[in-house]
Structure 1
Amino acid sequence: MDGATGAASTSGVSPAAGSTGAAVSVSRQNWQNALSTALRVRHYALRTENTYRQWVRQLLDFHADVPLADLGEAHVQRFLEHLAVGRNVAASTQNQSFSAILFFFTHVLGRDLGELHDTVRAKRGRKMPVVMDRSEVRRVLQVTEGTSGLMLRLMYGAGLRLMECVRLRVTDVDLARGLIAVRAGKGDKDRSVPIPVALSETLGEHLKRLRGLHEVDRINSLPGVYLPHALETKYPNAGIEFAWQWFFPTKNLQNDPRSGLRRRHHLHKNTLSVAIKQAARFARIEKSISCHTLRHSYATHLVEDGVDLRSIQELLGHKSIETTMIYTHVAKAASRRVHSPLDRMDDD
């Protein structure tokens, strides 16, 4: 049974030994609850939980006629190859699906899935990022205002990823030192980035408004904001402290999807995605841009300003310098002034 723990039948399998609580049979009827439990006891983010659930559901739907107890390495390999060949997904998408399925097999089904070395892999092509020049960035930012405008300026001015920006807390923004602490960025790495001087005053005013909102929330005895499990366990009252409040909170309260508590959350990422699309349209930018385009533009403009690659790598939080080097190619392509032969036809 591919190393499954305990007895199994065609209707279900026992969970991995690392699962908490009494052992229950995992079946096509209860696998979602089993997966959620395994992810939550390991303190995975809600977005990761939702993503993993979607991939496991796709795997099970792809092999709808296969009992869960019989699902094995060959079935996973066929599904991953279907993603690469049939759906032509990007390499990062196929890797994400593999991570989700590997977790499901290891921590929910209690089976060793193997490395799947013979699986057809999606092609990992190197694409040049979409970058706005400085005048385009200026035009986009000129037509944005309010909290969304401040967040877009911060993403460009500090090179933040979208979720890094929306997940900022008050304690992360140190105006006195002029630094932003980016916690648990991509790859679960922390880093510090300088606050743009041009935003210091605006951020200070924003902070004052946050303090007023926090005072109202305390008067109304609202539940504290969401905290990672380890923090909540170590500091039970931290959720009501000002330092841990979201830097970009929602105006309205929302139900926490895990605890059910009605509390204040950070702005949804879609708010920013919609804002930059609208700004690009108003600014008549003839490029397909997203929030990540601001980060690409930040990095490219640093290269153009002569900032060394190692410094840019640290500011962006890249694991490899090769990832950062793509921006040198973008900058060189923009600065190259090669005359087309067509432009010289009249000279002959």
Structure 2
Amino acid sequence: MPTSPFLESVHRSIRLRGYSLRTEKTYLHWIKRFILFHGKKHPCNMGAPEVQAFLSWLASDQHVAVNTQKVALNSLAYLYNQHLEQPLGDLGFTLATKKRRLPVVLSPAEVGCILTHLPPSPRLVIELLYGSGLRVNECLRLRVMDVDIPGGKLLIRDGKGRKDRVTLLGRSVIPRLESQIGMAKELHQRDLLHAIGPSIPHALGKKYPNAFRQPGWMYVFPSKGYCRHPVGNHWCRHHLHDSVIRKAVGKAQGASGITKRVTCHTFRHSFATHLLEAGYDIRTVQELLGHSDVRTTQIYTHVLGQHFAGTHSPLDRLMLGQAPVA
């Protein structure tokens, strides 16, 4: 939370523009670090040279990753361009280029092996990640109203880039998903006895004060306990924390004996790669993943090796007694 009147004003500005709570927390973190780096000098009395010095320090002294450096820059760009209305202009600073890393992809057999070592609730989450191409927090933020079982689809609200999208729902997961939704609804009914419901965005909660009583707002994967709403400060039930799923995946990987680096996001990568492998159009996969640019989706063609399809290793030709190709 903000620790000064200035940071409190930035906090209110970010919230007024409707950014997510995660973005709000991230921006405030980097703005605070920027101010402390310059000896608590007020940002109004600083500008592009100080921003450049801070970013250079992060790269050269703190050895932060390229993406971290970009997040810091975005935070300070918001501070000056949006909040203070003092555009930074050309910083004369070039961010380090992020080297391309191919995503880790599991084979269908490896996915199945990990699923067998997961407890029921985390397993259902991972099945949705792999079966629908979701990010882990997109899955955990699913509400009952977002699941269209007859239509075989899921509505993803406020995904990356603050975008909504629709993606497919695998038929094989429906029985377990219906059971999970049933348990969530039962929990919702018990919560209502104490006048407690699922956490709802603050603006909607004020506009529709009884919305929390509607089962459609209940999270499909609710948390075990109550918490305070981050804006309204009332008691509510949030969704399951992503650390629960990440820890379960780590244990399942260890039990399966798979040596690849496996994270929750690996199952989204595997979803995309296996669809392309099955011959689905890359534009279709792009829509299902929610990528703004098809070039982001094209990374999976490199995982498949489609860019060198039909090329034979010269060692194979040698072993077959053929002359190497000139």
- Cα distance change, pair 173–121 in 1 and its aligned pair in 2 (3 A): same
How far has the Cα of 1:88 moved from its partner? 4.2
In structure 2, distance between residues paired with 1:97 and 1:72: 15
- Cα distance change, pair 337–141 in 1 and its aligned pair in 2 (3 A): farther
1:155 aligns with one of 129, 132, 147: 129
CA deviation map 1:32-66 (0-9, x unaligned): 32222222222322211211121112212221264
**Percent identity of the aligned residues?**
35
Quick one: which amino acid aligns to residue 297 of structure 1?
A: S
Alignment of 1:1-348 (within 5 A): 29-64=4-39, 66-108=41-83, 110-222=84-196, 224-332=197-305, 338-339=312-313, 341=315
How far has the Cα of 1:164 moved from its partner? 0.5
Instruction: Please give the secondary structure, in 2, of the residue aligned with 1:193.
Output: strand
How far has the Cα of 1:131 moved from its partner? 1.0
Contact 2:152 2:169 in 1 (8 A): yes
Unaligned runs of 5+ in 1: 1-26
In structure 2, distance between residues paired with 1:255 and 1:340: 64
Normalised by the size of structure 1, how large is the TM-score? 0.84
How far has the Cα of 1:80 moved from its partner? 1.8
Contact 1:173 1:180 in 2 (8 A): yes
How far has the Cα of 1:232 moved from its partner? 2.6
- Cα distance change, pair 65–237 in 1 and its aligned pair in 2 (3 A): closer
Quick one: which amino acid aligns to residue 154 of structure 2?
A: I
How far has the Cα of 1:347 moved from its partner? 7.6
Contact 1:85 1:122 in 2 (8 A): no
Instruction: Using the TM superposition, name which of 331-340 and 119-128 deviates more.
Output: 331-340
Unaligned runs of 5+ in 2: none
Contact 2:48 2:89 in 1 (8 A): no
- Cα distance change, pair 273–335 in 1 and its aligned pair in 2 (3 A): farther
How far has the Cα of 1:93 moved from its partner? 2.4
In structure 1, distance between residues paired with 2:320 and 2:226: 67
In structure 1, distance between residues paired with 2:131 and 2:115: 11
Instruction: Please give the secondary structure, in 2, of the residue aligned with 1:266.
Output: coil
How far has the Cα of 1:148 moved from its partner? 1.1
In structure 2, distance between residues paired with 1:321 and 1:295: 16
* Equivalent pairs, count: 320
How far has the Cα of 1:337 moved from its partner? 8.1
Instruction: Please give the secondary structure, in 2, of the residue aligned with 1:330.
Output: helix
- Cα distance change, pair 277–28 in 1 and its aligned pair in 2 (3 A): closer
In structure 1, distance between residues paired with 2:293 and 2:82: 30
Quick one: which amino acid aligns to residue 286 of structure 1?
A: T
